[in-house]
């Protein structure tokens, strides 16, 4: 098993004819992802890397079965693209696009929730089930198949932690980024629920940062009886209150969302919290054995 995506997942790429969409589609194909179609309005009838392109998701689904979409369209078109994918019945939508207006993100999340779809992002590197499939922009060479789940807000920190684990021979079941914006679809709690149900996941690494309260919510969920060990890292200990640090969601406001408050909550919940990514292997060896 895996969570959300595996080698059987059939994928549509929205925005496939763009520079980023085309380049990332090729990398996904090379990794083994089953991309069945691309969508770019006005470009129907073309091909990208041998993938047929359609003017709409609806047209693509008339010719191909699909489960998921990866969205690489500009921020101004992202809401409509996500709505189209969800309204056409796709169960998983991965939104890599950054700088989506917060009200658009809220509407995207509301529609996904109402339709029973899973929305990853926006502003996410996506999801990878090592050795089986990847939907997004993660460097596939950093991962190896195994039994440690990773869920993160920061893509680069998740890459570093995955690379450290991989180098030490500790593989991963599924790794995903929930997204760095203030409003995202899937949350840490959602991911923990999925990992808890996954027989292939032995334990979870949670990579958080300042801003929002999703880490504290995850701590509450862990404390209530999460059945697998959790190792956590929280970035942003030296962040200045009121100053955005990298992600739109990484800002401390009114004394809330600090690294210290998140670390304390996770430790009280029983998670092992490391001070730097380089410590992940040593702690994971003991925690996940």
Domain ranges of the chain: 10-120, 139-287
Is residue 252 within 8 Å of residue 242, measured between CB atoms? Answer: yes
Cα atoms found within 13 Å of the Cα of residue 88, Cβ hemisphere only: 23
Overall CATH class of domain 139-287: alpha beta
* Per-residue confidence (pLDDT) for residue 241, from 0 to 100: 53
Cα–Cα nearest to 233, from 287, 181, 184, 186: 287
Is residue 128 within 8 Å of residue 33, measured between CB atoms? Answer: no
* Per-residue confidence (pLDDT) for residue 255, from 0 to 100: 54
* Per-residue confidence (pLDDT) for residue 44, from 0 to 100: 98
* Per-residue confidence (pLDDT) for residue 155, from 0 to 100: 93
Overall CATH class of domain 10-120: alpha beta
Q: Above 90 in pLDDT, residue 172?
A: yes
Active site residues: 247
Is residue 145 within 8 Å of residue 151, measured between CB atoms? Answer: no
Q: Above 60 in pLDDT, residue 217?
A: yes
Q: Which stretch of DSSP H or E encloses residue 79?
A: helix 75-87
pLDDT digits (tens, 9 = 90+) for 33-44: 999 999 999 999
| Among the ranges given (134-138, 179-183, 196-200, 246-250), the one the predictor scored with the smallest mean pLDDT | 246-250
| Among the ranges given (149-163, 198-212, 247-261), the one the predictor scored with the smallest mean pLDDT | 247-261
Give the predicted TM-score (pTM) of the model: 0.93
Distance of CA 262 to the CA centre of its chain: 20
Instruction: Categorize the per-residue pLDDT at 246 as very low, low, confident or very high, splitting at 50, 70 and 90.
Output: low
Is residue 233 within 8 Å of residue 214, measured between CB atoms? Answer: no
Common-topology check for domains 10-120 and 139-287: yes
């Amino acid at each position: 098993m895996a969570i959300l995506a595996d080698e059987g997942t059939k994928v549509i790429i929205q925005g496939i004819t763009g520079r980023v969409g085309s380049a990332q589609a090729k990398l996904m194909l090379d990794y083994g992802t089953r991309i069945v179609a691309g969508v770019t309005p006005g470009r129907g009838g073309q091909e990208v890397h041998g993938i047929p392109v359609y003017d709409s998701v609806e047209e693509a689904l008339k010719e191909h079965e699909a489960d998921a979409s990866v969205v690489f369209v500009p921020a101004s078109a992202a809401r409509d693209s996500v709505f189209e994918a969800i309204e056409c019945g796709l169960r998983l939508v991965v939104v890599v696009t950054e700088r989506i207006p917060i009200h658009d993100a809220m509407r995207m999340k509301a529609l996904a929730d109402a339709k029973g779809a899973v929305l990853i992002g926006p502003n996410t590197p996506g999801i990878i089930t090592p050795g089986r499939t990847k939907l997004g922009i993660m460097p596939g060479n950093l991962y190896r198949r195994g039994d440690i789940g990773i869920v993160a807000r920061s893509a680069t920190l998740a890459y570093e932690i995955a690379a450290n684990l991989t180098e030490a021979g500790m593989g991963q079941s599924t790794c995903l980024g929930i997204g760095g914006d203030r409003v995202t679809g899937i949350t840490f709690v959602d991911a923990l629920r999925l990992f808890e149900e996954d027989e292939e996941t032995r334990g979870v690494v949670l990579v958080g940062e300042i801003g929002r309260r999703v880490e504290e919510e995850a701590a509450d969920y862990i404390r209530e009886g999460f059945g697998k060990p959790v190792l956590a890292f929280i970035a942003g200990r030296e962040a200045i209150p009121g100053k955005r640090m990298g992600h739109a969601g990484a800002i401390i406001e009114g004394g809330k969302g600090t690294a210290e408050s998140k670390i304390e909550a996770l430790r009280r919940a029983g998670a092992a919290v490391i001070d730097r990514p380089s410590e992940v292997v040593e702690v994971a060896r003991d925690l996940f054995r």
